[in-house]
Amino acid sequence: MIPPVVGAAWLQDRRDDVVVADVRWYLDGRSGRDAYDRGHLPGAVFVDLDRVLAGPATREGGRHPLPDPEAFARGMAALGIGDGDTVVAYDDDGGVMAARLVWMLRATGHEAALLDGGIAAWDGPLEAATPPRPPAAFAPVPWPADRVATADDAADRANVVIDARTRERYLGLDDPVDPRWGHVPGARSENLAPDGRFLAAGDLRARFEALGVEPGTPVVSYCGSGVTACHNLLAMEQAGVGEGRLFPGSWSQWSADERRPVATSDD
């Protein structure tokens, strides 16, 4: 399988052999589609996070639960992404949004990677229109049980639980979208979103080791709604410390359940 993160030179060399996916999405309500229409990498398809990479929001499942495998497969096929395609995804926020698509594809056995540096790393011209790709064949694959975690797993102190949100949201100082502020008791705050580029693998490994994460350590990653948490999981792969598990409901699910305790300081 290709590495979880690739550079612009890697993409340039293989441009005709991969599908490029634009996964821009904004918490403040701006339109990722509008950003795509203003300019995107040549040939890139736009992947709507809300419609393709998530199921319907529910109190029990959170804001961005994983979609049914059949719905995800239909979405990929309609975009012209097939089982045999290699996908390189990007956004304009350090990869924290595009990581959701990459994680979903890699978790189900498909070749996919993040473009390191996102759209800003591309030094060629952008384009405003892209002819649609013809529909492709994409078979549904169940979400692997060993890559997905539940709220009970997040509560289990046998796991290292990583909160990928901003430090302010972790500490309960500010949260624009969730009903209760704070974090899962015992969770460790680590927002690995880069300032445009990923850290070197050795530096990433040192960050994870500081959290108590080494190869074989059981890790659960969560964020606000299970999107940016995927970035930490890809960073784990890049660092060579394992794959970890995604808690898809994340804080949006946990905070909606009054039975779940909330912490607001470092543990």
Pick the catalytic residue from 160, 223, 246, 256.
223
Q: Which of 182, 180, 191, 248 is nearest to 220 (CA)?
A: 248
> Are 65 and 153 a contacting pair, CB within 8 Å?
no
Residue 230 known to be catalytic: no
Alpha-carbon distance of 221 to 250, in angstroms, equals 8
Extract the tokens encoding 179.
């009903």
Please count the other Cβ atoms lying within 10 Å of the Cβ belonging to residue 26: 15
Distance, in Å, from the CA atom of 82 to the CA atom of 57, rounded to the nearest integer, reads 27
Dist CA 104 CA 46 (whole Å): 16
- Spatial distance between the Cα atoms of 216 and 235, rounded to a whole number of angstroms: 15
Contact 5, 113 (CB under 8 A): yes
Q: How many residues make up the chain in this entry?
A: 267
* Residues tagged active-site: 223
